[in-house]
Amino acid sequence: MTSPSMQSPEKAAPAVRAAADLEDERLLRGRGLAGAASAFGHRVRSGDLGSLPVVIGLVIIWAAFGVTTHGDFFDAQNLVNLAVQCAGPGLIAVGIVLVLLLGEIDLSIGSVSGLSAAILGVGLVNHGWPFVPVLVLALVVGAAIGLLYGFLFTRFGVPSFVITLAGLLTFLGVQLALLNTSGSINLPSDSFIVKFSLFDYLLPWQAYLLAFVGAGALFMSDLLANRRRLHAGLSGRSLAGSAIKCVALLVVLLAVAYYLATDRGTGVSFVFLVVVVVVVNFFITRTRWGRSIYAVGGNVEAARRAGIRVNAVYLTVFMLCSMFAVLGGLVSAGNLTAVTLSAGTGDVNLNAIAAAVIGGTSLFGGRGNAWSALLGVVVVQSIANGLNLMNFAGDAPRFIVTGIVLLLAVIVDSLSRRSRQSHGAA
Amino acid sequence: MTLRGITKRFGAVQALSGVDLDVFPGEVVAIVGDNGAGKSTLVKVLSGVHSQDEGTITFEDEPVSIPDPAAAREMGISSVFQDLALCDNLDVVANLFLGREVTASRIMNEEEMERRSWELLRQLSARIPSVRIPIASLSGGQRQTVAIARSLIGDPKVVILDEPTAALGVAQTAEVLNLIERLRERGHGVILISHNLADVQAVADRVVVLRLGRNNGTFNVRDVSYEEIIAAITGASDNAVTRRAAATRTSEENPA
């Protein structure tokens, strides 16, 4: 409850002027590390869970597979495979995160990824075109599909799940038509996309260097943000906290790089996924375009009245989602060294959506970040990988377990939304 | 800003017919009227949500047209809508600067926006615990404060407040009325739409009464009684009883 402002205009001026954001005496003031820790605890209790459930879930899943596979799951060879398997679905999931942030959905990502694989196979193998034109063609097709969805959505107001459900069937049909004459196409193992997706690994020193660059960049960005805050007369953040965070990140990255290097190393395609996630996250958190995505996802009418060009936001996001589906389809095809009639069918759609939701992006719009695609896809692929190791080959057990995990994630999403509402933080 | 002969029809309904309105800098003009009197329609014409069928709008002695909300904002007319139009999932800073983010080489300058947010909120003596918490965790009065503060970004000349106190408690209403007085002190022209005549009498300089889409009187708040405004709103000053009373008074004053 606010206190009437007439009570305090005579408030004695503090001897030292507090930072602009700490002047209100009612603020719960937590400084330094302890403050950061208690703020985190408060956020979690009020239902702002962020990435916490997925991290806990991942630990449980890994522990379970570690036991049931007698440690085979943690073989360096298996983890290297796991990382490489994450790249394709992960790229698709990044696009889904963007669409979910708007509170919309794209159910055709599987078909679009399959169509892009078909374009790859037909172009690269049947027509013998070089890779780059094929890549550009596939991306243009993806952009056109997204543009069409965005147009139908903004012009006619058809719900996105219906538009993209129609797209699912249509583009699956186009894919089958493209592959009609040749059937499944094997990709030559010396082609760029196969090497990129399956055979290229970082040398150990490259991986270590990347770990240092990543942690160092995080620390520098914290340091610069802190300097800007102080310059603007705001309170600084705990530098010790950010130093600890960066050192922890560095240790984890180095450990991962070291362990993966005992086998083939860190897959280039996985690194590509991480870079894409970092870049996309930067764009959605630090640019006006990204802010408008969150605004549209939170309250479309408010965004419109604030002068945001809502239709442009929908168009760009649907386009990007389809383009990420294209990229994911190409990497998945490279990973399989083949373009099949069933590429992009089955659980590809649901895996990508599950990854985004499991990673902590809300189905209700306006909440989430690009990292949830990475975290979620690691969970989804761990399940597939672990079940495979347990000799539950075939689709049936994987479908069942992934379905249940998706359901759990959606329940967590709904519960945390309810908790936020009851804590006055919907 | 001057409006002359504003007319707006929705199908068969004549929502506004020939409404006149003047707003001067540093003045609070209240628009009152019963439900369906055309208050909200007039506001929507001003804020560019609807455009008028007939009539002229003059802004700083220039005839203007207001085709959409963006045009109104560029001109210096900002509106606080009754539903506030805030994004619950975004924090206070993001909401204040929504659509007008401060950028440095295309990247949002969060620190500058946060600094300006505190500056603005302090000028309004607003009491917001933190500008980095989502709007959803603020009280009704605090949300109203944020919505009003947002209307001031970009330094508008006219601020339109549509029922700013309708959903608020006593203390919060007092706070919003303080805010309105501060807007006047800062030299903004304020248009206040309200059902609550106590609020209107507390802060407004002039009261414009609309009735069934027409002007039904303009009063200086200082010279007018509560009953007279009510009478103008309900049309009670023009009926058989008042006409008889007037006739009687005339005959008493001038006995044959």
Residues of A in Cβ contact (< 8 Å) with B100? 306-307
A21/B109 Cα distance (integer angstroms): 16
Shared domain for A240 and A334, answered yes or no, is: no
Domain end call among A266, A287, A320: A266
A260/A207 Cα distance (integer angstroms): 10
Per-residue confidence (pLDDT) for residue B214, from 0 to 100:
84
The CA-atom distances, in angstroms, between B132 and each of A188, A298, B126, B136, B203 are 53, 16, 15, 12, 31
The answer for residues whose C-beta is within 8 angstroms of residue A94's C-beta and 6 or more apart is A273, A276, A277, A280, A324, A370, A373
A159/A104 Cα distance (integer angstroms): 8
Q: Which of A92, A133, A127 is nearest to A113 (CA)?
A: A92
Shared domain for A258 and A285, answered yes or no, is: no
Q: Which residue of A has its CA nearest to B174?
A: A4
- B164 CB neighbour count, 10 Å cutoff: 26
Rounded to 5°, angle at Cα B193 from B181 and B225: 75
Shared domain for A173 and A54, answered yes or no, is: yes
The CA-atom distances, in angstroms, between B188 and each of A190, B97, B201 are 70, 19, 19
How high is the mean pLDDT of chain B?
A: 83
Q: Which of B3, B1, B74 is nearest to B41 (CA)?
A: B3
> Which A positions 200-239 lie with beta carbon below 8 A of chain B?
225, 228-229, 231-234
Residues of A in Cβ contact (< 8 Å) with B94? 291, 294-295
- Give the domain CATH number at A327: 1.10.3470
Q: Is residue A3 part of a domain?
A: no
Shared domain for A216 and A274, answered yes or no, is: no
Ramachandran region, residue A61 (left: φ > 0; alpha: ψ -120 to 50; beta: rest): alpha
Q: Which residues of chain A have pLDDT under 50?
A: 1-17, 426
B91: DSSP letter: B
The CA-atom distances, in angstroms, between A300 and each of A83, A84, A102, B67, B89 are 37, 38, 9, 20, 12
Quick check: A194 and A200 in contact, CB under 8 A? no
The answer for residues whose C-beta is within 8 angstroms of residue A309's C-beta and 6 or more apart is A292
Q: Does A14 touch chain B (CB under 8 A)?
A: no
* Cβ <8 Å between A305 and B134: no
pLDDT category of residue B103 using cuts at 50, 70 and 90: confident
Which amino acid, B4? R
Which amino acid, B26? G
Residues of A in Cβ contact (< 8 Å) with B137? 423-425
Shared domain for A227 and A336, answered yes or no, is: no
Residues of B in Cβ contact (< 8 Å) with A424? 136-137
How far does the CA of residue A328 sit from the closest CA of chain B (Å)? 28
A354/A358 Cα distance (integer angstroms): 6
How far does the CA of residue A230 sit from the closest CA of chain B (Å)? 9
Mutate to test the interface with A, among B74, B77, B89 (most CBs of A within 10 A): B89
Per-residue confidence (pLDDT) for residue A21, from 0 to 100:
66
- Using alpha carbons only, how large is chain B's radius of gyration in Å? 20
Backbone angles phi, psi at A204, to 5 degrees: -50, -45
Q: Which of A289, A179, A235, A320 is nearest to A32 (CA)?
A: A235
HEC string of A161-197 equals HHHHHHHHHHHHHHHHHHCCCCCCEECCCCCHHHHHH
Q: Which of A253, A268, A219 is nearest to A239 (CA)?
A: A219
Q: Alpha helix (H) ranges present in A179-287?
A: 192-194, 204-231, 239-261, 268-286
Q: Is residue A42 part of a domain?
A: no
Per-residue confidence (pLDDT) for residue A3, from 0 to 100:
41
Residues of B in Cβ contact (< 8 Å) with A302? 84-87, 98
Nearest to A294 among B70, B90, B174 (CB): B90
How far does the CA of residue B20 sit from the closest CA of chain A (Å)? 26
Quick check: A297 and A359 in contact, CB under 8 A? no
Shared domain for A150 and A188, answered yes or no, is: yes
Helix (H) or strand (E) holding A417: helix A395-422
Beta strands in B163-230 (DSSP E): 189-193, 206-211, 214-220
Q: Which of A102, A157, A49 is nearest to A299 (CA)?
A: A102
> Which A positions 282-301 lie with beta carbon below 8 A of chain B?
286-288, 291-292, 294-295, 297-299, 301
Q: Which of A205-209, B76-80, B244-248 has the highest mean pLDDT?
A: A205-209
Judging by beta carbons within 10 Å of its beta carbon (0-12, 13-18, 19+), is residue A215 exposed, middle or buried? buried
Shared domain for A242 and A185, answered yes or no, is: no
Shared domain for A150 and A287, answered yes or no, is: yes
Shared domain for A321 and A307, answered yes or no, is: yes
Q: Is residue A20 part of a domain?
A: no
| Long-range CB contact pairs, A41-47, < 8 A, 24+ | A45/A423, A46/A419, A46/A420, A46/A423, A46/A425, A47/A415, A47/A416, A47/A417, A47/A418, A47/A419, A47/A420, A47/A422, A47/A423, A47/A425
Shared domain for A254 and A337, answered yes or no, is: no
Shared domain for A257 and A284, answered yes or no, is: no
Q: Is residue A353 part of a domain?
A: yes
Number of domains in chain A: 2
Mutate to test the interface with B, among A5, A228, A294, A308 (most CBs of B within 10 A): A5
* pLDDT 10s digits, A264-307: 889 999 999 999 999 999 999 999 999 999 999 999 988 988 88
A17: DSSP letter: P
- A389 CB neighbour count, 10 Å cutoff: 16
Quick check: A171 and A164 in contact, CB under 8 A? no
Q: Is residue A424 part of a domain?
A: no
Domain end call among A240, A266, A292: A266
Question: Domain limits at A369?
Answer: 50-200+267-411
Average pLDDT on B3-28 reads 85
In the block, which residue shows the tokens 């009261």? Answer: B207
Domain end call among A225, A245, A266: A266
Shared domain for A83 and A161, answered yes or no, is: yes
How far does the CA of residue B40 sit from the closest CA of chain A (Å)? 16
Q: Does A23 touch chain B (CB under 8 A)?
A: yes
Q: Which of A73, A58, A91, A87 is nearest to A408 (CA)?
A: A58
Q: Is residue A4 part of a domain?
A: no
In the block, which residue shows the tokens 């504003």? Answer: B6
Q: Is residue A37 part of a domain?
A: no
Q: Is residue A283 part of a domain?
A: yes
For chain B, domains (ranges, CATH) are: 2-88+155-224 (3.40.50.300)
Q: Which residue of B has its CA nearest to A22?
A: B130
* Cβ <8 Å between A9 and B125: yes
* pLDDT 10s digits, B179-222: 888 888 888 899 999 888 888 888 899 988 888 888 888 888 88
Residues of B in Cβ contact (< 8 Å) with A305? 69, 81, 85
Q: Does A417 touch chain B (CB under 8 A)?
A: no
